[in-house]
Structure 1
Amino acid sequence: MRVINCIILDDEPMAVALLSKYVDKIQNLNLVKATTNPFEVLEFTNNNSVDVIFIDIQMPELTGIQLMEMLGNKTKFVITSAYSEYALQGYEHNVIDYLLKPVSFDRFYKAVVKVQEVFKEQAFTNVMTAEEKSEDFLFVKTDGKLIKINLNDLQFVEGLKDYLYLHLKNEKLIVLDTLKDFELKLPNNFMRVHKSYIVRLDQIESIERNRIFIQNKIIPVGDTYKTKFQDWVKSFI
């Protein structure tokens, strides 16, 4: 099993110290940051990949809910809180488990097992999807059923929180998935060009400054993805 990189965030130093000790006892769980400062977490995740954050809810400067909203799909979360009333609100985000304080090692371990199972399932899905890529099609879930789509018909993908709009040549499908996960299922003739868009490169009709035009649709190129996209464009000049 691959190593899972985690962060511990809690405004109580004793809670940070306790969970850090728990992490040290579990194989394949790697603590990359332990802090009481949510802004340090924001900065760290902007420059580093993190699998899961063990996050407190009630913090003075920035609540756990606010931070989860800001991080979006960058990582998954395990909530650690003394208040059970935040459980429902927390599960609107990428929350795998909810731990009520005081957190025992036994309960913490069970949460880690859940995290490991999520990443195991994701890895299996990625392997299966990689095998399907050679077939130039995918199965997507929409309206409670699986629909086969031909990747040659897919022009671009538009993300909206946990939903995607798949813009096909003759229709548009709404799919329950995240842009990050869906990107992993696509072959290399698709490119992420914005936090909300993936485009099929051979469908691009024109490029003007930081805008891509596909079928009368204007797609912005985000700053994070600009260099990679410009390098691709330069390869044809």
Structure 2
Amino acid sequence: MNNTVPAVYQGLWRRRLLTTPILRDDTTLVFWLQTAAWHADLRIPADRPDFSGCVTLSDCSRAQLLALLGQEGFAGVTLIDGDTCEWQRCVDYRPIGLRDLGRMVFSSTADAIEEYGVEAEYTERWERVEEGEGSVDVCWSTDARAQILWLRAGRRFMRVRDRPLADAESRKYWYRLHAGMASDDDLRRLADCEISFGEIAGQAGYILHSTLPWLEGQSLTLPIEMLALQTCSERK
């Protein structure tokens, strides 16, 4: 497999349609940001409830916590082999334990992709989003809790922070959830994972969509490394 993702993949994509043998979904909000190696993906259902009045997970009711855990998203390294794309997940909001491989068919103008499942039966249609001038790249930062992955495509960015759980702990809480035995605290531990999508204006970033809804509309300080990134055409 190729360790560098071809330029035609790089940038920001929005999913417009998912079809499976039992489902047609054109309402879930889905963004995929792809760099030369790393990707991030955010999926928010259209029926996610209102979170007005919530500013932390502690403010969420059980019903709200369960709704959060109906979201999806992931981030990791992308590998290309011919027309097959594999998204290797280093962070996974709702892990399913399966590989994620798609056969990719680009439109003649490379502004749309039909993705066909390789190990699962599905089709997704992706459309390229105009992201504005700027770099397509990735950097890391660290806060008091965790390492944070930042991806940028022009004026758009994604920020990813994994839940602060060891793999064994995570599996334990997911098992409790699927078995109907999870406490509210268990649900909060699982929902403590941020995948945010936003826009860059000057030296600041503004969150437009997030797995933590109360972050939406907030501004944040971008890493110096992200602001210093050069445009793709300037990188050697």
Q: Which has the larger radius of gyration?
A: 1
Fold similarity call, TM over 0.5: no
Compute the TM-score of the two structures, normalised by the length of structure 2.
0.27
The structure richer in helix per residue is: 1
The structure richer in strand per residue is: 2
Q: Which has the higher contact order (CA 8 A, sep 6+)?
A: 2
Compute the TM-score of the two structures, normalised by the length of structure 1.
0.27
